[in-house]
């Protein structure tokens, strides 16, 4: 699905991937948004945006949460101002295979502080 909105002479594109995905064992309950990526082509800007999303998911959630392929609610927010600029947004997930390789890791809080367990 592709949506195009014209605002002040600029076009913004939002697309959602509808690819068939493996069933995840667990997904987080909120969307992670990567940093903006730029390139001369839409496909390259999206590729770079996915890499930045993966980096962000890993930094926020931990090592096994950075797979764009199994993420849910994937979306690109793109616009053109000379170059194409895109951000990737998605909910990070783990597959049954990745979660069976050990216990599902506790995630890092967004503020970077360790949380204390509740007894």
For the entire predicted model, the pTM comes to 0.65
Q: Does residue 13 surpass a pLDDT of 70?
A: no
Q: What percent of the chain has pLDDT over 90?
A: 50
Structural tokens at position 63:
């090592």
DSSP 30-72: S-EEPPPEEESSHHHHHHHHHHHHHHHHHHHH-GGG--TTT-E
Residue boundaries of the structural domains of the chain = 2-99
What are the start-end ranges of the E strands in 55-117? 72-81, 83-91, 93-95
Q: If 0-12 CB within 10 Å is exposed, 13-18 middle and 19+ buried, where does residue 6 land?
A: exposed
pLDDT digits (tens, 9 = 90+) for 21-35: 455 468 988 899 999
């Amino acid at each position: 699905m592709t949506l195009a909105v014209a605002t002040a002479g600029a076009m913004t594109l939002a697309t959602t991937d509808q690819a068939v995905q493996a069933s995840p064992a667990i997904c987080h309950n909120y969307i992670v948004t990567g940093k903006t990526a730029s390139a001369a082509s839409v496909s390259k800007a999206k590729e770079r945006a996915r890499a930045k999303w993966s980096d962000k998911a890993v930094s926020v959630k931990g090592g096994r949460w950075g797979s764009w392929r199994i993420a849910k609610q994937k979306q690109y927010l793109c616009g053109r101002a000379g170059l194409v600029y895109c951000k990737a947004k998605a909910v990070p997930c783990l597959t049954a295979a990745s979660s069976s390789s050990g216990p599902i890791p506790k995630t890092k809080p967004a503020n970077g502080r360790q949380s204390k367990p509740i007894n």
